[in-house]
Amino acid sequence: MSPLLRSHSSGLRTVLGVALVAINAAQLCGAATNPSADAPDPRPSVVETLKADPRLRVRPAQECLVMKGGLQPAMVCTAAGTLIVQAQTIEAPLLSKRITYPSAIETVVSRDAGKTWVEFPRPPGENGLNLEGGALALRSGRVLALDTYVTPAVGEGLGVGQLYWSDDDWRTVQGPLESSFQLPNVNFHGSSDDYGRAHVAIRLHRRILELPNGELLTTVYGWLHGDNAPAAYIPTMKRTRAMLLRSSDQGRHWRLVSTIAADPKVGTEGFDEPALARISRGSHVGRLLCFMRTGEDLYGTQSDDDGLTWTRASPIGFGVIDVHRTQDWAEMFRGVTDKQGKPVDLVAAVVDPDLLELRSGILVCTFGVRVPARVCWPRAGYPGNGNYMAVSLDHGETWSHVLRLTSGVLTTHYTAVVEMPRDNEIFVAYDLGDWTSGKGRSIYGRPLWLGVNKNQPGR
């Protein structure tokens, strides 16, 4: 068995009945940028198999440093295999009339499958693109990206965003070009952010999909008029809904298609950080899947009519951790109180899912689990507190293979995953560290290869 992959079954270490071969880490991971920011202390790099499907073979490479000083990665891979990773830095953004993230955003690029990374500088005097809004490599080879913020435009129900693009494999980036958004009944002024600050915007997030006819889909989360239920942990922030947008002109104009999910009684935040995928194989070709953060359980829904209607969102369980089973970690947090001196809420939370269909039809979901949701950083050592990857071999019907990428260490629990030019070879990025502990913060990642033994019966 590879020293990079450990298998668990019912809490006991077992050996899988497949050969797991490690890729030579020295050939895949190398130098990163930003030497002024300290990375977390080195630690053993182990991918743990929590749930094993005998049909699946996984070859993980050594964990490698992508960007010193970064947190919460966003990522895209071009048709040529160039990896583009973006993350928050420790610096403040430049003053701007347009809303920006409270931290400056840095971009690094690898043109050798993650072996080395170089900084891609921001335009002088600008904050530049915030890639959390989503990016994709079109079939034409052009790379499109949306800034995460959609702000009010002149006129009721109208918004404006920023579109960027590259036609030379991200050696140069054009934009921003203003993109328009038709958002009937949108409320840009209804909520603060999660720090209590004014937030006159809604947020594009994660994936842009190119449909067979060339149209684009993406997701946004925010508020319509009437969305007034407060988040559980900060009353000035209102619970969000997740919505689907469509563009017929490569991202210059977007229109609201539907609400994907909205329920003021779900979780602590409503539905946010949506991740979108489209099924291209099997008996449900064209089905859209959307996974969303709620502040507690991960929720999912699906659409079989191009996003016009959606099934009622329900919890997605991968069978490895129950966010409500607080008795498993209660002793570790005995005596911990909040700012008002009250016992902390011990419910855990699944955050920031990323959802990707590989060209082979394999479905991959990466996500983080905060144990507990609000105090996982002062005491990060619970083993279930970490970053995960789940694999589905039946187009999202079941999730039969689950890996834990990090365990019991400081992380903000944000991940990103892309497929590289070689089929079934993916690159997963995540962070180690946090905002305030002073123990270091950096983006790490690792390539993994997935192989399916079709002669092995499923479960």
pLDDT tens, residue order, the chain (459 aa): 444 455 543 332 222 223 232 333 333 455 554 434 566 655 556 899 999 999 999 999 999 999 999 999 999 999 999 999 999 999 999 999 999 999 999 999 999 999 999 999 999 999 999 999 999 999 999 999 999 999 999 999 999 999 999 999 999 999 999 999 999 999 999 899 888 888 999 999 999 999 999 999 999 999 999 999 999 988 999 999 999 999 999 999 999 999 999 999 999 999 999 999 999 999 999 999 999 999 999 999 999 999 999 999 999 999 999 999 999 999 999 999 888 888 999 999 999 999 999 999 999 999 999 999 999 999 999 999 999 999 999 999 999 999 999 999 999 999 999 999 999 999 999 999 999 999 999 999 999 999 998 765 544
pLDDT at 190: 87
The structure tokens listed for 308 are 């016009």
**What predicted TM-score, i.e. pTM, was given to this entire model?**
0.92
Q: Which of 447, 448, 444 is nearest to 32 (CA)?
A: 444
* Residue 284 φ then ψ, to 5°: -125, 50
pLDDT at 196: 85
Q: Which of 360, 366, 208 is nearest to 280 (CA)?
A: 360
Encode 331-358: b = buried (16+ Cβ within 10 Å), e = exposed: eebeeeeeeeeeeebbbbbbbbbbbbbb
The sign of the torsion formed by the CA atoms of 330, 334, 336, 341 equals positive
Q: Topology of domain 5-452, per CATH?
A: Neuraminidase (2.120.10)
Which residue type, as a one-letter code, is found at position 156? Answer: E
147: CB partners within 8 A, 6+ apart: 129, 130, 133, 161, 162, 163, 164, 176, 204
Could you give the CA distance from residue 448 to residue 318 in angstroms, rounded to a whole number?
20
Encode 211-233: b = buried (16+ Cβ within 10 Å), e = exposed: eeeeebbbbbbbbbeebebebbe
Tally of CB atoms within 10 A around 149:
22
pLDDT at 42: 53
The structure tokens listed for 376 are 């996982």
Could you give the CA distance from residue 224 to residue 227 in angstroms, rounded to a whole number?
6
Domain ranges of the chain: 5-452
End-to-end, the C-alpha distance of the chain in Å comes to: 22
